[in-house]
Structure 1
Amino acid sequence: MTEIPTRAARPAAITATGLRKSYGDKTVLDGVDLHVPAGTIFSLLGPNGAGKTTTVQILSTLTGADAGQVRIAGHDLATSPDAVRSAIGVTGQFSAVDKLLTAEENLRLMADLRHLGKARGRRRTAELLEAFDLADVARKVSMTFSGGMLRRLDLAMTLMGGPQIIFLDEPTTGLDPRSRRAMWQIIRDLVAEDGVTIFLTTQYLAEADQLADRIAVLDGGRLVAEGTAHELKRLVPGGHIRLEFTDPAAFERAARTLGEVSRDEDTLTLRVPSDGGVRSLRSLMDRLDAQAIEVAGLTVHTPDLDDVFLALTGQTVPTQTPTQNQAQKESVR
């Protein structure tokens, strides 16, 4: 795995060491190590079949590992699975909302399953309906809801038990851009205001880029890289700064000053290799200023997560097609 320095240590919400899982002669996870600090958003990326769903199923107690040690919220997964279940919530790719019930009835059902008691359950239901902007439709049957409303209700149901850690498996699949952005803000608020830890799997790379404090890339059952979005992007060559000129003389002087650059004589532009960082940009501008060279325009181009995904896995971004059968739609609440 590509090693990238970690930030200052925080208490761990999730740790896994040597996680292994096989089905017959097919190895799905081959020695995966994870460290997810509390109060952060951790995103697991990978192509279809990489082992993302299996990882979530193991960490959320839905299936057992063949080998490895896991601690969730301080509890050993193998010896204290009930304690782990009490500390976590799971919102799966497929909604667990009962569409024949109202939003209020779905939440009260979760309150009963969590043994909150009648008064506390009603109070918590009202709080969640308000927090997720569902109070006005609380008594409407859920089958009339839009996709975004269903996802909000699904996440609200997950929060009924006050989990410390939430596993979000493809949380915005099928949502329109506006609903997706609204869900992103809800996820950010859960972390910033409530201190919840989010373990996110997604195939929308922009989602991981927007949300995740750290991102791990899983391929062939192994972690091949981990770091912040910026750190991962710097692993991929191709970053550059594009300089635009209106004066041919300034264009030529800049080309001589900067050395090895790509030239476009027709548009009077130079392409200078760069990691896109502030330090390299400042150095470039200092060199141009020292020669009194005036630049008409400047654009920084850095590789995005699509480029990272392709470089690390050899595959393009996977398509958004459901791959799990009905039996895998269950969620631990």
Structure 2
Amino acid sequence: MKHIILFVVFLLFSLKAFSQKPTYQEYRDYVLTEYDFGKYYDSKRNIFIKDNIVHIFIDEGGSLIETGVPTTATEKYSYRLHLLTNSETLETTKFKYSFRGEYKPTFNIQNDTLNELDKSEEDESEEVKPKIVEYSYAIIGPFTDDFNITVTKIKEGEEDMTILDKKINVAKTFHVSISTGLFMTTLTNPSNIKTSTNSDGQVTLIADDQNTRGIVSLNAVFYPKGRSFLFPPSGGLFSPDRFGILIGTKIDENQFENFIGGIQFDFARGGSVAIGAHFGRRNAIAGYDDFDFGNEVFKGDISNDLIKEWDVGFIFGVNLDLRIFGQLFKPIN
């Protein structure tokens, strides 16, 4: 019985020693070691992305290694597939990698390649270890709409087998969006102006909206770097992807008498803060640079001295996606 046990142990050891098929864990260790995984791994989306290139790792059976394939990507992304296999498999097997995608309106992409991986780097040392061979295919993309990537395993004497077949949706990138702003403006527009008396008994003027006021605006925002609204803003606090140039007008009957412009900063998907200038036409009192309502003495005739003038003020507020704005002010049944 003892001899049988020793024989089985020897047999298992021999099979392990002469086998050159790495385990999944060995493939995983290879990826984590060879690539700066902690720096470029996006845990929220489970993808490895460096310089807008998404790297996809698979083994010879089509199993994804450590990362997934993005279910939704952006038009900025390119892609690179890394196939990990071993020396033993390459003796009888080839891998066919193909992709199909489109980038509108610049060009269409179609490609189909058959590669026999390089077998020249066999480990000739006395110690037999699993030999991992990596083949990194050419960078593809970017794409619009969606695209497919396929890897087919072609082995002598066996039917071709597709080990990877993925369709990836691509979120649209927009350079201009329409939104609604809720802003505070320092450009005063006193209304309902009437004569009154001040604390000294002298004639003065009183009015509504003498100080800062709120306005609702309809805005167009230009994103120089482009934005995909299916994703939250990317990058750090001062990433160019978060900034846009805002131009808008106040929503009321005097919409062509109030214009705003400034810089927008996206803090979340569909939401942002903006700062800028408000250029508008407002009520003013002739002969006074900035009448102090309720205090300053008025010696004119309000029916003649009330005029309209263009001036500039400062704005600050939030800018919301129109769909969010609609939900905020949706009537409650």
Q: TM-score range by the shorter chain?
A: under 0.3
Bigger radius of gyration among the two: 2
Normalising by structure 2, what TM-score?
0.25
By relative contact order (CA 8 Å, sep 6+), the higher-ranking structure is 1
| More helix, by proportion | 1
